Amino acid sequence: MGDLIFDDGFRANVGIVIFNKNRKVFFAKRKYQSGWQFPQGGILLGESPKKAMYRELNEETGLGEKNIEVTYISDCWYEYRLPKRNIRKQTNGITVIGQRQKWFLLKFNDNPSLINLSSSSQQEFDSWKWVQPETTIKQVINFKRNVYEKVINEFTPFIR
């Protein structure tokens, strides 16, 4: 099954902010790269955003529904454009120009040893840390920064 691509070239995507009892958020380093980000991933055709979130959560962190509590879902879809060097044509000929994301805020009350970055055959991250939410805005790659700022501003009242 392929990714859901909107008519305007944006790929449907979910973003995931996980916070712990200390009100810090999970932040992961991309494998073989220096960039840090929240877990995220595409929504497949016919898949709901919530189902995509659980799939991506498991693929990227090894966590499942029993390890987290959905605390809040973004009011709107946020989007960012990809830099020209990252724009690619899909196998179906559609050019993806960016990501349109529904964001989920998840409370993690379990043991951090359950976090497993290599639970999927296509490991995306090689390390992770708990950070203050506002730290993510400064450390994420530039073209995602505006979305991170909006998401953190929307989610901060619910991180408690």
pLDDT tens string 40-78: 999 999 999 999 999 999 999 999 999 999 999 999 999
Q: What angle do CA 43, 71, 62 make, to 5 degrees?
A: 55
- Write down the pLDDT at residue 94: 82
Which regions of the chain are under pLDDT 70?
A: 1, 91
Strands 78-81 and 98-108 come out as antiparallel
Q: CB 132: neighbour CB atoms within 10 A?
A: 14
- The pLDDT score that the predictor gives to residue 91 is 64
**What are the residue boundaries of the structural domains of the chain, listed by start?**
10-110+124-158
* Residue matched to tokens 């400064």: 138
**Fold topology of 10-110+124-158:** Nucleoside Triphosphate Pyrophosphohydrolase (3.90.79)
Helix (H, G, I), strand (E, B) or coil at 150: helix
State how far the Cα of 13 lies from the Cα of 43, in Å rounded to an integer: 5
Whether the CB-CB separation of 142 and 120 falls below 8 Å is answered with no
